[in-house]
Amino acid sequence: MTIRTIANRQKATDSRPMAQKLRLIAPEDIRPNPENPRLVFRQEEMESLMLSIDKHGVQVPITVYEHEGAYYLLDGERRWRCVSKLNHKFIPAIIQEKPSELDNLVLMYNIHALREQWDYYTIASKLQRIIDLFRLNNDYEPNEIELSELTGLTRGAIRRCQLLLGLPERFKKMLLEELEKPKSQQRLSEDFFIEMEKSLRAVVRRVPEYAERIDEIRDVLISKFENNLISAVTDFRQLSKIGTGLDTLDVARGATINVLDRVFDANQQVGIREAYTETVEFEYVEKRVTKYAFDLDRFVLGVIEDDRRQELDTYLVERLEHLYNTLSNLLGK
């Protein structure tokens, strides 16, 4: 259900034209929209907007609806914040009718998603409510495509949001507290949780025993990240590779699980990178080289078959001779 769908539905159910009034409203009479998923406002972008408003005033009116004597924002929280900071007495606002909760949420998504990249937590925080309201109205849960159409988000973004939505409340609270800190003091980002969750899914799928203590594992990984034993968010991709390696590589399952146990143990000073090196790094290199070897073999066979030996670059021939000698040593021939 896009903005157009909502507007059409409104037309169908209400033959009167939608009442829209342009007014000057005191900023202190305005409240943030309770459904606005946008929680994070960055200093740089806000200062740049404030500078513009200080110079030129508010050029585009904000949009509000009236409810029980107060105005609630539909669009324009950043402008409203800047105007409040600048002690403006009034702000131009278009007053609309109060939308339904689902319409309000969908409007929020569509208004904001069109303009700039939202933080994932911001999106995820209200996505569940949209799913619930949709289910209530339609008697079934929206799939990824329907959610994408409804909110204007890409399916990839929805998948990432769902990883955050799947976090236990305690971790969501932890992330929200982190996001509310000044940017320079944020250690745990949305990316951290998204990458951690992806990797844990990959591991738990192969080693279901870990599912029972998954929260404890999350705590250990967070603590190791905060103490720099896990030095980058991207390390979690290596954790995923250790997990998938159990299926796709010829590695000893017991030994790999043993190393994972050490990564998931708060008392062991083992990070993901060491675990990766110890378990699957060589096998992944082997796998990659196998592909190179296959490609090389196919290329050489092609050259022989087409009789194009004379066309080979001298440097390539030198490298092939060198490789031949190295392989002879390696294979003992």
Partner 1 sequence: MASGGLSSGTDFLRNSAAAYFNQVYQHPPMQVAAEVDPSLSWKPSIQLRVNDHLVVLAEASETPYPIIFRLRRTDVLQLQMPISIYCVCPEEAYLEEQAEVKELRAHGYGLLTVAANGTVQNRFSSIPIVQQIPDAEFRQEITGLPPKIKRSVSEAFDLYNHNSPAGVSNITEVFEGVILKAAREAVKKTWLKAKDAKPGATAATLAAMSLAPQFANCAAAIGGAQAYVSRYRNTAHHFPKNKKQAHRKYRDCRNAFVNGIKEVQDFRTAMKNVGLTGNI
Q: Which residues bind partner 1 (CB under 8 A)?
A: 27, 39-43, 46-47, 50-51, 54, 80-82, 84-88, 179-187
Cβ proximity to partner 1: between 11 and 42 the closer is 42
Secondary structure of the chain in the HEC alphabet? CCHHHHHHHHHHHCCCCCCCEEEEECHHHEECCCCCCCCCCCHHHHHHHHHHHHHHCCCCCEEEEEECCEEEEEECHHHHHHHHHCCCCCEEEEEECCCCHHHHHHHHHHHHHHHCCCCHHHHHHHHHHHHHHHHHHHCCCCCHHHHHHHHCCCHHHHHHHHHHHCCCHHHHHHHHHHHCCCHHHCCCCHHHHHHHHHHHHHHHHHCHHHHHHHHHHHHHHHHHHHCCCCCCCCHHHHHHHHHHHHHHCCCCHHHHHHHHHHHCCCCCCCCHHHHHHHHCHHHHHHHHHHHHHHHHHHHHHHHHHHCCHHHCCHHHHHHHHHHHHHHHHHHCC
Cβ proximity to partner 1: between 116 and 311 the closer is 116
Cβ proximity to partner 1: between 14 and 54 the closer is 54
- Are the C-beta atoms of residues 229 and 269 closer than 8 Å to each other? yes
Nearest distance from residue 230's CB to partner 1, in Å? 18
Alpha-carbon distances of 19 from 64, 101, 106, 292, 310, rounded to whole Å: 12, 18, 20, 67, 82
Cβ proximity to partner 1: between 24 and 300 the closer is 24
Cβ proximity to partner 1: between 177 and 295 the closer is 177
Nearest distance from residue 323's CB to partner 1, in Å? 50
Nearest distance from residue 89's CB to partner 1, in Å? 9
Nearest distance from residue 83's CB to partner 1, in Å? 9
Cβ proximity to partner 1: between 83 and 158 the closer is 83
Cβ proximity to partner 1: between 192 and 276 the closer is 192
Q: Exposure of 175 by Cβ count < 10 A (0-12 exposed, 13-18 middle, 19+ buried)?
A: buried
Nearest distance from residue 48's CB to partner 1, in Å? 9
Nearest distance from residue 47's CB to partner 1, in Å? 5
Nearest distance from residue 79's CB to partner 1, in Å? 12
Cβ proximity to partner 1: between 51 and 300 the closer is 51
Nearest distance from residue 40's CB to partner 1, in Å? 5
